[in-house]
């Protein structure tokens, strides 16, 4: 019997990933060591920690906590500054697509960061993070500011020439997703990544009758398995409303090959792993790859396109 070859490579609007699985920005992608580990791993691409212009220490510790089905964080964008990430990309032999994640503390800082990234051809694409929920100095998150986001993206595309995608927060109303999609559809955006963590969650240690992280009185972004239904819903609604050439990178609640299958069935072209990467370390990519191939074999699918976006509804 001839075994069919299973192709789990991905294309994000023409950006070719040898494997559809990569890390989510923020998790084990901040330092030279983290990024070198990712370069040497089987991940299909690399996303750097969201950077600001200058290095940042981030919020006070403890700022991350995980339990069996989720995680809470209020990291506050600890990062080594854009120059560090650019230098890393410039000096290393880059063997897969590399996405520079940017999250300026102000609109002006975002313009400067995108301008700077445009000067370096080894950066495959920019992932503009408009959804960090943990910045104490910033009241507004652009991803939830429907008026601000339109004006902002219009200005970015006056000078940006690089493939650029946007990391979005979760939305909870169809009308909000439709509104954002209609705005994004007006611009030459390459991809969206959805979703970032669910903002303003609270986890409690019942024995101590206390919160578990220190910044923001314990409130933080929720990730992990617990958020998968929200990720799937956002992916599928964006798949419905976005222009078909804008790829969706699914993120949220993936810890198995089955979870990846569900993200792709909802319309994702590739996926990112956050909390599970943090829990399991670099070997997660190889395990997920094996599980996804196993599942596709069982279902007799030879590539992601055989089922991407083909979620069925009940009659």
Active site residues per annotation: 132
| Cα–Cα distance for residue pair 133/143, rounded to 1 Å | 10
Q: How far apart are CA 296 and CA 291, in angstroms?
A: 9
Q: Which residues pair with 102 in a beta bridge?
A: 51, 128
Q: How far is the CB of 133 from ligand SIN (least distance, A)?
A: 6
Nearer to ligand SIN (CB atom), residue 76 or residue 163: 76
Q: Looking at beta carbons only, is 168 or 184 nearer to ligand SIN? A: 168
- Distances in Å between the Cα of 237 and the Cα atoms of 232, 311, 313 are 9, 11, 13
Name the residues that contact ligand SIN, by CB under 6 A.
26, 50, 75-77, 129, 131-132, 134, 196-197, 221
Separation CA 172–CA 65 (nearest Å): 25
For residues 145 and 214, what is the distance between their CA atoms, to the nearest angstrom? 27
Beta-bridge partner residues of 165:
127, 191
Nearest distance in Å: CB 293, ligand SIN: 30
Q: Which is nearer to ligand SIN, 63 or 237 (CB)?
A: 63
What is the nearest approach in angstroms of ligand SIN to the Cβ of residue 213? 11
Residue whose CB is less far from ligand SIN, 136 or 204: 136
Neighbouring residues of 45: CB distance < 8 A, sequence distance ≥ 6: 15, 17, 22, 96, 97, 98, 99, 124, 270
Question: 274 or 309: whose CB is closer to ligand SIN?
Answer: 274
CA distance 109 to 234: 28
* Shortest Cβ 232–ligand SIN spacing (Å): 19
> Closest CB to ligand SIN among 101 and 269?
101
Q: How far is the CB of 235 from ligand SIN (least distance, A)?
A: 18
**Is the Cβ–Cβ distance between 109 and 129 less than 8 Å?**
no
- Residues 315 and 312: their CA atoms lie apart, in Å, by 9
By C-beta, is 8 or 125 nearer to ligand SIN?
125
The length of the chain in residues reads 315
Q: Which contiguous run of DSSP H or E holds residue 119?
A: none
Shortest spacing between CB 64 and ligand SIN, in angstroms: 9
Which residues fall within 8 angstroms of residue 235, CB to CB, at 6 or more apart? 194, 195, 248, 250, 263, 266, 267, 268
CA distance 118 to 188: 15
């Amino acid at each position: 019997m001839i075994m069919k070859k299973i192709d789990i490579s991905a294309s994000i609007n023409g950006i070719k990933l040898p494997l559809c699985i990569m890390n989510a920005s923020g998790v084990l992608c901040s330092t030279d060591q983290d990024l070198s580990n990712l370069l040497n791993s089987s991940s299909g691409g690399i996303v750097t920690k969201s950077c600001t212009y200058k290095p940042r220490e981030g919020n006070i510790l403890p700022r991350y906590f995980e339990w069996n089905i989720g995680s809470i964080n209020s990291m506050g964008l600890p990062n080594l500054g854009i120059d560090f990430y650019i230098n890393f990309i410039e000096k290393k032999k880059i063997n897969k697509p590399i996405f520079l994640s940017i999250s300026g503390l102000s609109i002006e800082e975002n313009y400067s960061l995108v301008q700077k990234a445009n000067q370096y051809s080894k950066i495959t694409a920019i992932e503009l993070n408009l959804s960090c929920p943990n910045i104490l100095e910033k009241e507004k998150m652009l991803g939830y500011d429907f008026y601000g986001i339109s004006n902002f993206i219009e200005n970015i595309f006056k000078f940006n020439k690089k493939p650029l995608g946007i990391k979005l927060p979760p939305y909870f109303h169809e009308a909000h997703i439709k509104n954002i999609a209609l705005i994004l559809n007006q611009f030459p955006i390459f991809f969206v990544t959805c979703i970032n963590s669910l903002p303003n969650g609270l986890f409690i240690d019942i024995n101590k009758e206390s919160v578990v992280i220190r910044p923001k009185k314990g409130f933080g972004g929720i990730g992990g398995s617990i958020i998968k239904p929200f990720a799937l819903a956002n992916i599928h609604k964006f798949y419905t409303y976005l222009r078909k050439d804008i790829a969706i990178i699914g993120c949220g609640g993936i810890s198995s090959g089955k979870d990846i299958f569900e993200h792709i069935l909802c319309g994702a072209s590739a996926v990112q792993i956050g909390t599970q990467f943090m829990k399991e370390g670099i070997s997660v990519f190889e395990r997920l790859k094996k599980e996804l191939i196993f599942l596709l074999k069982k279902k007799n699918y030879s590539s992601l396109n055989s089922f991407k976006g083909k979620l069925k509804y009940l009659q």
